[in-house]
A and B are shown apart, each in its own frame.
Chain A
Amino acid sequence: MGDANKRRDVYKSNYITKLGEREVSRNLKALVWLSSLLVVTGAIALIVVAIVLDDNHPLSTLSPVGRQGRDIAALINPIFIVAGVIFFLVQGAVLALWWRYRVSGSESGDGEFGYYEDGEFPEQIHGNNRVEIGWTLVPTVLLAVISVFTLITLFALDDVEASDEDMVVTVVGQQWWWEYQYHLDGNTSTPPDIVTANELVIPVGVDVPLDIKSRDVIHSFWIPKLNGKRDAVPGRAHDWVIQSEETGRFRGQCTEFCGLAHGYMKMVAVVLTKQEFAQWRDNQITSADMPQEGTAAHEGWQVFSQQCASCHVVNGITSATNRGGSGTEADTWDIYRELSGNDAGAYLSQDTLVAGAAPNLTHLMTRSTFAGSWYDLYLNADSHLNYLDLPENGILNRVELEKWIHNAPERKPAAADELRGMPARSSLSPQDIDNLVAFMSTLD
């Protein structure tokens, strides 16, 4: 019995006060204030660094160049400032209260008053209705003001009719790349005039209406520098609009989780001057030419027609015989259904201008990226090279392209065995691949 008491005493004297109450309390206080100081200064230093380093963020929402993006920034930036002020007020209040009203006391908490050393109590204030009503009303009014500005911007951005552009681009998301179908006359019920992939080319300064759809799961179309995002939902068509005040290449990223390679599903918006855009458009409308017999490109075409043409379309030379089936866009959903029956042909559309489940390659060489814009097609695409000059003066990223043809699932995650993503073509010889690249190089 006495033994237990003794041990208890040891507990109290050794364990709790081993480090010396006073010393602990002083050390702790120093630790507390030092670390909070460290956090604050560290955070501020890092944020400064961040702003300094902010010159190279191709997806940044902080430096928009599109009209809509700028409208959004104009709305949110002042709100960020208001929020910042409130942030400093509250954190300042926490620190000030801490500093002003802290009391020292027992470190062991064993005293009659727990951690307090004395029986001194502050005034027991239970509340104050006026103060409460005040700080309910002030934020309410503040938020009401913000709501008004929000609604104004919201409805202004929604007013897509304002566009003077006839052209409508149907944007189709699928695992894991984007297809763009250009309806130059704005009539989306007729077959599109141009079908391309990954890179959305638009003229500068024009509101381009988009018609966003999906073939499989939900995706989200987002070019942060131009406009916010809009989901591509299967079974639904969503109106959206995109515009840029400047020419250039602006990156995008699918932002609704869409399965395995979601992170690898990227896209680019290319903004050209109006003349350049006309030039690009006139080129895209044309079909590809069959390479001359006897050339490596023609050898490549033969490989292509056997290995690739059941999914990839090249306008003008892949023929309907490569592609059976009877689908329209509406029943591309059936594609996946019928996959189990291995009836891959069924999911390809008969319409020569509509790619099925793989990108239309008619003008592959005019694009700066491939594989869902994950890889650069040209090594110097980011230099000041004119976009339209890429096929001529670009340095082809040949190594990556060949690896991609050889074994795509290794270069970008895909569920190729479920026909979601491009399957490997490991059986191709290096010669075959060389020829294939030679053929593709003609697709400009």
Chain B
Amino acid sequence: MSTTQGTISASLATRLLGVFSRPQGSEGWKSWLFTVDHKRIGIMYGAAALFFFLVGGAEALFIRLQLATPNGSVIGAGTYNGVFTIHGVTMVFLVVMPMAAAFANYLLPLQIGARDVAFPRLNAFSFWCFLAGGVLLTSSIFIGGWFQNVPDAGWFNYAPNSGVLFSPHKGVDFYAVGLQITGIASLVSAVNLIVTVLNMRAKGMSLFRMPVLTWMLLITQFLLLFALPVITVALFLLMFDRLWESNFFNVAAGADPLLWQHLFWIFGHPEVYILILPAFGIVSEIIPTFSRKPIFGYHFMVASGIAIGFMGWGVWAHHMFTSGMGPLSVAAFAVSTMFIAVPTGVKILNWLATMYRGRLRFTTPMLYAVGVVSMFTIGGLSGVTHAIAPSDTQQTDTYYIVAHFHYVIFGGALLGLFGGFHFWWPKAFGYKLNELWGKASFWVMLIGFNFTFGPMHILGLQGMSRRIATYQASEGFAFWNMVATIGSFVIAVGVAMFLWNVFSSTRNWRRVGRPSVGPDPWDARGLEWMTASPAPEHNFDSDIQVDRFDEFWHRKYGRDEKGKIVRAARAEEIAHDGSNTNVHLPSPSYWPLVLGVGIMLVGYGLIFNLWIAALGVVALVGAIYGWCLEPADDPDTAHGHDHAGRNSLEDEEAITVG
């Protein structure tokens, strides 16, 4: 006991060396602000992404209202340009990417049998930095009046239209600074997660025993790692041009606006795979579970993901077939784009083969996963037609493209992510979402989705251009636009049903005394199901020895003499119950949040007033100083995930002595 006291006073002294004492405890809202737990960070990523999804969805409804009829006047042309720009930016950078980050954060360590990510505090910083960028970007909607300073040059932001000459208000500044900040977040997160997967796998978890989702997320992080610096350069050049009058996109000074396009799409095309690969991974977890079969062609699944990761770098200029590159470049990129369809096709066929002769249970997650297979195929097929460079000169920048990428990003990425929500919800929260509501919301969303974006194929081929604020009655676009608008509201109903499901399922679960659904409610295959639900703060009670792919499933099931599969053990018997209170955990920290706030201040400062930026820099320097001085683990409270300080110290004491 006296030793314990000694330790505490010693650590008190250490604390005084730091600027403040450390946050403690794992209850209450404060514990969320200062948490470094990858699961809480994952949940916060998911919640933030859902919030931005509602913002981006509302923007989409305004777009559809404006286009519902010819000569639409719901919102003016200026506002319309702002709305479609911020819709695109929001959905790509603030919805799909962080939603994928939510799964990456929550699941990666669990799937590889680790306690946390490699750098927990950096992980927290990634989230706060992302949120800072998201808040900054979203605030452009109302700062200085509604839609007065919103980015309005398209998510692709082509120079020179994004220059201060043609977009004199602060919208594009918000774009440049906001994306730079979310970029820092993604980059830090990418480094962190790559190190986590490479370095922190459980014993025996070789690379080719990792779940497909882990693989897809790892490839995504590598794509982020190499793609983000390119957009960073582009955004810096844009910012220098806008704020300090450099000449990078100044045509009068001899600049070629195609530089922006190349830089943007060298990032932008890998970005497409950054959006879709996590969903591919999620689908690859759900389909085997509800087919009662292992994933078909595991190595080919992984290899096709890697192939997509590599080939994704060689196709960017297919976004620029009409930009006036030489015919040889066009030819080269047409061919390379053509063949990136091969690995994607392999994935689709492998999913179908997994279902073949399986025992299929169409639960909500399975519906979403099969929805991805079906919808992404449509987006993939229309994608191949873009590779036909001559015909792309007809299709590009029309609604055919809008249809294509919504089938890929909504029908592929978002449906997959929603399937993931339903699939891993019990793991994260300890109860399931209601199946009936889940299925109903899926069907409403799917039907609405097809009515919204299906007609856009036809509209595009009929010649309706993208990004036009309205069209004339004589152009014959009215009918399908009305259909699409109605469809978009059906999607909104579907999303509302999903939210209601979350709300009512939570309420019902609370009413009955919060029973846990058990570690493995779906009879699933991955290591994340081998611990209690919700996953305890320390993930696993002890280290796991992995001997094969789908380790957890193989622990549950064996074969009898006849080779028939029989239950070897119940999930509850194998799974860790989370009762171990003696695990060395990283302690919460103020500094990630302070650093995020500092970065946000620097962002606003660059846009409005450098004095605000100076304030931000002070916060930044202070946070980095504090960060460096505090040890990753507070020796005082780091032991015991219950954070009851002394008790757990006593426990350890006892064990050490014992």
Are A and B direct contacts in the complex by CB distance below 8 Å? yes
B225 at the interface (CB under 8 A from A): no
- For A139, the chain B residues whose CB sits under 8 A away are 341-342, 345
B324/A231 in contact, CB under 8 A: yes
Do B324 and A233 have beta carbons less than 8 Å apart? yes
Q: Which of B254, B350, B388, B479 has the most CB of A within 10 A?
A: B388
Known pairs A122-B359, A253-B468, A333-B252; A61 contacts B394 (CB<8 A): yes
A217 touches B160 (CB 8 A): yes
Tell me whether B467 and A263 are in contact (CB under 8 A).
yes
- Which B residues, 283 to 336, have Cβ-Cβ distances below 8 Å to chain A? 290-294, 296-300, 322-324, 327, 330-331, 334-335
Docked-complex contact A114 and B322, CB < 8 angstroms: no
- B389 surroundings in chain A (CB, below 8 A): 150, 154
Q: Provide the A28-51 mask, 1 if CB < 8 A to any CB of B, else 0.
A: 100110010011000100110110
A103 to B390, CA, bound (A): 47
A135 and B356 CA atoms in complex are apart in Å by 15
How far is B473's CA from A382's CA once the two chains are assembled, in angstroms? 14
Instruction: Say if the beta carbon of A120 comes within 8 Å of chain B.
Output: yes
Interface residues of B in 511-539 (CB under 8 A from A): 511-513, 515, 520-524
Bound-state Cα–Cα, A41 to B462, Å? 22
List, in ascending order, chain B residues with CB within 8 A of A113's CB: 523
Q: Are B361 and A103 interface neighbours, CB within 8 A?
A: yes
Segment with Cβ contacts to B, from A72-80, A286-294, A384-392? A72-80
Given contacts A4-B513, A122-B293, contact A53 B476 (CB under 8 A): yes
A336 within 8 A of B: yes
Enumerate chain B residues within 8 angstroms of A126, measured Cβ to Cβ: 294, 296-298
Q: Could you list 7 examples of A-B contacts with CB < 8 Å?
A: A60-B462, A79-B388, A94-B373, A112-B567, A127-B297, A216-B160, A337-B252
When A94-B373, A132-B300, A150-B387 are in contact, do A235 and B77 touch as well, CB less than 8 Å?
A: no
Complex Cα–Cα for A15 and B446 (A): 26
**Residues A217 and B296 in contact, CB atoms below 8 Å apart:** no
Against A, the Cβ 8 Å flags (1 = close, 0 = not) of B350-363 are 10110111111111
Determine which of A19, A47, A119 lies in contact with B565 in the assembled complex, contact meaning CB atoms within 8 Å: A119
Task: Known contacts A256-B158, A337-B252; decide if A263 and B469 are in contact (CB<8 Å).
Answer: yes
Closest to B469 in A: A263
**Interface of A toward B, CB cutoff 8 Å:** 4, 7-8, 10-11, 15, 19, 24, 28, 31-32, 35, 38-39, 43, 46-47, 49-50, 53-54, 56-62, 69, 71-73, 75-76, 79-80, 83, 86-87, 90-91, 93-94, 97-98, 101-103, 105, 107, 109, 112-116, 119-128, 131-132, 135-136, 139-140, 143, 146-147, 150-151, 153-155, 157-158, 175, 216-218, 220, 222, 224, 227-231, 233-236, 238, 251, 253-264, 331, 333-334, 336-337, 374, 382, 413, 418, 420
Q: A31-B443, A58-B474, A59-B475 are in contact. Are A216 and B352 (CB under 8 A)?
A: no
User: Cβ of A102: which chain B residues have Cβ within 8 Å of it?
Assistant: 360-362
Please, what's the 1-or-0 string for B71-84, where 1 marks a CB less than 8 Å from any CB in chain A? 00000111001000
Indicate whether A154 sits within 8 Å of B161 (C-beta atoms), given known contacts A94-B373, A146-B388.
no
Contact A220 B327 (CB under 8 A): no
Bound-state Cα–Cα, A331 to B435, Å? 66
- Cβ–Cβ contact A261 & B461, under 8 A: no
CA of A125 to CA of B288, assembled, Å? 11
The bracket for how many chain B residues form the interface is 35 or more
Contacts A57-B476, A94-B370, A151-B334 known; 12 new A-B pairs at CB < 8 A: A7-B513, A60-B462, A72-B391, A113-B523, A139-B342, A154-B327, A229-B393, A255-B396, A257-B397, A262-B81, A263-B468, A264-B469
Contact check: which of A127, A224, A264 meets B296 at CB < 8 Å? A127
CA distance A62 to B457 in the complex (A): 12
In the complex, the 9 A-B pairs of residues with the closest C-beta atoms, listed nearest first: A228-B393, A59-B463, A263-B468, A11-B512, A114-B523, A127-B297, A76-B391, A413-B77, A217-B161
B396-A253 in contact (CB<8A): no
* Cβ of A104 to closest chain B Cβ, rounded Å: 8
Stretch at the interface among B377-385, B638-646, B648-656: B377-385
Given A24-B436, A120-B359, A127-B299; A87-B161 close (CB under 8 Å): no
Shortest C-beta distance, A133 to chain B (Å), equals 9
- The interface residues of chain A lying within 8 Å CB-to-CB of B509 are 11
Asked if B475 and A116 make an inter-chain contact with CB atoms under 8 angstroms apart, the answer reads no
**Complex CA distance for A75 and B334, rounded to whole angstroms:** 14
Chain B residue nearest to A50 in the complex (CB):
B458
Stretch at the interface among B41-49, B103-111, B255-263: B255-263
B508 with A11: CB separation less than 8 A = yes
Assess the B158–A121 pair: CB atoms within 8 A.
no
If A220-B322, A228-B390, A256-B158 touch, whether A97 touches B356 (CB-CB below 8 Å) is yes
State in angstroms the CA–CA spacing of A198 and B457 once bound together.
Answer: 28
Min distance, Cβ B83 to any Cβ of chain A, angstroms = 13
Query: Is B256 a contact of A150 with CB atoms below 8 Å?
Result: no
- Do the beta carbons of B374 and A235 come within 8 Å of each other? no
Once bound together, how far apart are the Cα atoms of A218 and B422, in whole Å? Answer: 44
Query: Are B511's CB and A263's CB within 8 A?
Result: no
Give Cα A109–Cα B438 distance, bound, in whole angstroms.
14
Q: In the assembly, what is the distance between CA of A178 and CA of B96, in Å?
A: 38
